[in-house]
Structure 1
Amino acid sequence: MTESRELQPIDGTLAPAGVPIDALRQLVTAWILATGRAKSKHTRRAYARDITQWFAWLDECGVGPFEAYQAHVDGWSESMLTIDLSPATIARKISCVGSFYRYAIRQGKNYGITATVNPAAEVERPYVDRDHSETAGLTADQARDMIRAADADRKRTAVIVRLMLEVGFRASDVDRARIEDLGEDRGHRTLTVTRKGGRRQRMALPVGVARAIDELIGDRTEGPIVTTRTGQPMAHSEVFRTVRRIGEKVGVKVTPHGLRHTCATLALDAGAPLRDVQDLLGHADPRTTRRYDRARENLDRSASYKVAAYLGV
């Protein structure tokens, strides 16, 4: 299956009057490819899901995609609040819709579609606290329990959990990790990963992580580090199920992102500088990393005390 085929999200039942379904499908696919070129396949699929959900909402309202106006986006936003989606998720979906219409206004004529209005252009997004993460992280004791349970489960499980919990990997990083990218540098075991946007980053592997990887790959010298029983790369969904299953064993509800979140919070709790944790997670913006600092509101850390002590007044 080609990438463009995977990205076609439009169901024939959503074809609006006067807009050929093939033309709409082609426009959406072109938008996803153009907008998400530098993003992961999971992000591009999220775009496809978001715009499909928007079209489904309009279909229920009896409105075509290019007949919508701001009130429809406002109504969709309100409907998402009733199913307990987070403000950040709602804001992302509205931004996705706005991006599609900006593209359609510029490029729609190439597909026989006339788009003149962006119904999301002036929609007020839900407030999102950029200094706070809603992801539930684990305590240090729960993290230790996860690692012990993973080590006792199977070699593959140990690598998945340790990479996320000790190195801050995303599920997609685990999917893409390859034996050829393992290395050494001045006594450090390393693994080079491809971050969002295609940037390559060399990561240091703690002793326990390196040992788990060595035990898993055995004599293999190439290919994915984490594979299925048939030697195929591990699917994103299977990584998620593995983490959830080990979490249930130790009595916690956690996702792959929850383990990555835990890695960040524990690193900061242990005294790692914010800039080092930012590098560990591959964040472009330090504000993203700062959300994981659970102790940032501790008044004992106030910089004002350091200024006063430095001045000696």
Structure 2
Amino acid sequence: MSGPSSARAVLASLPRPDDVVLPGPAGDSADGAGGAGGAAVDWPGVDDPDALRALVARWLAGYGGAQTRRTYAYALGLPPQWADAVTGTPPPARDRPRTAPPPARRGRLHRLAYFRWCATHALDPRAATGTHVTTWLHALDAAGAGKRTRARMLSTVSAFYAHLVETGVIAGNPAALHRGRLGLTGTSRDPSPTVRLTAAQVRALWDAAATLPNRTAARELYARRAVAFVALLTLGLRISEVTGLDRDDLVVTGGEQVLRVRGKGGTVREVFPGDAVTGALGAYLAVRDGSTAETVPARRGQAPSGPMLATRSGGRCSRQDLYALLRRIAGHAGPELDDVADRVHPHALRHAYVTLALEAGAPIQHVQADVGHASIATTRHYDRSLRTRTSSAADLVTGLVTGPAAAPDATDPGQAG
């Protein structure tokens, strides 16, 4: 996209001020209303909101992945419509469900998204200093945001300011802070907060999915879908990758069935599902095709189109629905999951894929390619195979200090006479 007319088209398509979910000085508002009498406030603290919106639009448009744009917009406190509008044209009809998934529900930190925090303090983001950004991070900390959450939100803000520096809007990046002093640094040795699932626990989830209670007439369809969902998660896929899969992403190449998975930044990688997963997918799709007339006929030699995991009406399953489904499955998984059922989420199975693969001796480069990590350091972060009880000296030391005292040496002069 280039030229003044294209720029004007983008700006014209962006949500107007009353749609940009920002708080007014008098308090937070879900629809952009704020200030005295509930009147709509354009952008508190900003004298030229259209110019600032244009800067944000150009920055977001520089990212090729639709999901990346949506994630960044949401992290800053803007509605997801921004991420869909900045490209100036809607995505192709086939890709619209994939590139425009339902927006995430607002969490407890939404009011502290950076632009919303600035608006609450009537601060133009372009005038912010390092002190302002640090104060915002402390507010996140006080609200209970974890280290990783704060580091991720800071990275988003820093990326925006880096764009402003590159384009000459501001002289320096106020979010280029010393992360070590802020306690936001991390290494591959940091323990992951994600619950660690064993192979037996993952197997229990798979089994529980097949027997999940359901009294509706579509119970077989729902059971098959639950198994297919767990099966896909056992491949180490992100939840966004699972929801974005289409039926025709399962292809045969080189004599092997592979899944073409769209990851972060729109990159595509090939994942080998194996017989168990392809069997689960095939069983689900067979029941689904037999229970609905919504299947789009396939051209000769091609798989039917449509989402891989679908609702009863044929729509694409949302992340929220699948999160809730996995939690139900975990709660039904029996003794294997009793202690961790309330902590099981899709990323826990991605984590399990990496840790189980590394513990089984798989080369870390292969695991990195499987899960789509940009850096091998990210894969190494999951490797806790060296931090098991048998590889710890804790039992040895505890035995030395709590066991029977050693008999005194009879030749020790201190023990004589």
When normalised by structure 1's length, the TM-score is 0.81
AA of the residue aligned to 2:124: G
Deviation at 1:298, TM superposition (A): 6.7
Deviation at 1:20, TM superposition (A): 2.9
Partner Cα distance (1:271, 1:224) in 2: 34
Mark the CA change 1:255 to 1:96 in structure 2 (over 3 Å): closer, same or farther: same
Partner Cα distance (2:124, 2:375) in 1: 38
Partner of 2:260: 192
Aligned to 2:257, what secondary structure does the other structure show? strand
Partner of 1:260: 350
Partner of 2:75: 50
Structure 2 unpaired stretches of 5+? 1-9, 23-31, 33-40, 78-112, 213-222, 290-294, 296-303, 392-417
Mark the CA change 1:105 to 1:269 in structure 2 (over 3 Å): closer, same or farther: closer
Partner Cα distance (1:131, 1:40) in 2: 32
Partner Cα distance (1:106, 1:10) in 2: 27
Task: Give the total of aligned pairs.
Answer: 289
Mark the CA change 1:16 to 1:169 in structure 2 (over 3 Å): closer, same or farther: same
Q: CA RMSD in A?
A: 2.8
The one of the two structures with greater contact order (alpha-carbon pairs below 8 A, sep at least 6) is: 1
Q: Of 291, 310, 328, which residue of structure 2 is paired with 1:227? A: 310
**Residue 32 in structure 1 maps to residue 60 in structure 2:** yes
Partner Cα distance (1:226, 1:217) in 2: 9
Is the contact made by 1:171 and 1:256 (CA closer than 8 Å) also made in structure 2? yes
Aligned to 2:126, what secondary structure does the other structure show? coil
Is the contact made by 1:74 and 1:123 (CA closer than 8 Å) also made in structure 2? no
Q: Of 232, 238, 243, which residue of structure 2 is paired with 1:170? A: 238
Partner Cα distance (1:117, 1:267) in 2: 44
Partner of 2:175: 120
Give aligned-pair identity as a percent.
Answer: 33
Partner of 2:80: none
Deviation at 1:123, TM superposition (A): 4.5
Mark the CA change 1:18 to 1:25 in structure 2 (over 3 Å): closer, same or farther: closer
Partner Cα distance (1:170, 1:5) in 2: 29
Mark the CA change 1:209 to 1:148 in structure 2 (over 3 Å): closer, same or farther: same
AA of the residue aligned to 2:382: Y
Mark the CA change 1:123 to 1:62 in structure 2 (over 3 Å): closer, same or farther: farther
- Higher helix residue share: 1
Deviation at 1:198, TM superposition (A): 3.0
Q: Deviations over 1:143-169 (max 9, x none)?
A: 11111111223111111111112x111
Aligned pairs for 1:29-178 within 5 A: 29-34=57-62, 36-37=63-64, 39-41=65-67, 43-52=68-77, 53-107=113-167, 115-124=170-179, 125=182, 126-132=184-190, 133-153=192-212, 154-165=223-234, 167-178=235-246
Aligned to 2:160, what secondary structure does the other structure show? helix
Q: Compare 19-28 and 263-272 and name the one that shifted more.
A: 19-28
Partner Cα distance (2:355, 2:66) in 1: 25
Q: Deviations over 1:132-186 (max 9, x none)?
A: 3332231222211111111223111111111112x11111221222222223456
Partner Cα distance (2:200, 2:14) in 1: 45
